[in-house]
């Protein structure tokens, strides 16, 4: 029974995530959530989940290291939020309704959170590398 519920919910999230790849909304986030849910019960879902996780980590590292990519990402996030807020405040934005506006705002906020995480990780990564290399030197000197 549990396996069937996970399958139905996972496939539903996956289909919504795929639709949100072309519609405004957090498509990749829902796809990752669907794969994580499906991977709890189905072995086949672990491989695409690992692949998606690896690609997400690479993207986060690239945003954290490149000021140009960070700037473009911030601009995209702000654009999403602004368009959503404009529509919700009564400005007629073509092809945008209240649901779409809400999804634009949500997507922009998720993107801002991802950017903050990427910058935090990039800032702390060199320190971690220094600690690891000094720790290794200490260990090798001890032996």
Per-residue pLDDT, 134: 44
Q: What is the pTM of this model?
A: 0.64
Per-residue pLDDT tens, the chain, 143 aa: give them. 888 999 999 999 899 888 878 876 677 878 888 999 999 999 999 999 998 888 888 888 888 888 888 898 899 999 999 999 999 999 998 888 998 899 889 889 988 988 898 888 888 876 544 444 444 444 444 44
Q: How far is CA 83 from CA 1, 75, 114, in A?
A: 43, 12, 20
Give the containing element (helix H, strand E) for 24. Answer: none
Per-residue pLDDT, 126: 60
Per-residue pLDDT, 24: 67
Can you tell me the distance from the alpha carbon of 74 to that of 116, in angstroms, rounded to the nearest whole number?
Answer: 10
HSE of 54 in the Cβ direction (CA atoms, 13 Å)? 6
């Amino acid at each position: 029974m549990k396996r069937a519920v996970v399958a139905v919910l996972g496939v539903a999230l996956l289909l919504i995530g795929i639709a949100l790849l072309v519609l405004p909304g957090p498509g990749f986030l829902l796809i990752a959530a669907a794969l994580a849910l499906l991977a709890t019960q189905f072995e086949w879902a672990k491989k695409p989940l690992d692949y998606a996780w690896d690609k997400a980590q690479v993207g986060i590292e690239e945003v954290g290291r490149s000021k140009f990519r960070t700037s473009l990402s911030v601009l995209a996030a702000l654009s999403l939020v602004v368009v959503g807020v404009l529509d919700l405040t009564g400005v007629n934005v073509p092809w945008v309704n209240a649901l779409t506006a809400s999804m634009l705002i949500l997507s922009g906020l998720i993107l801002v959170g991802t950017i903050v995480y990427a910058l935090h990780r990039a800032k702390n990564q060199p320190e971690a590398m220094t600690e690891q290399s000094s720790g290794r030197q200490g260990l090798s000197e001890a032996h």
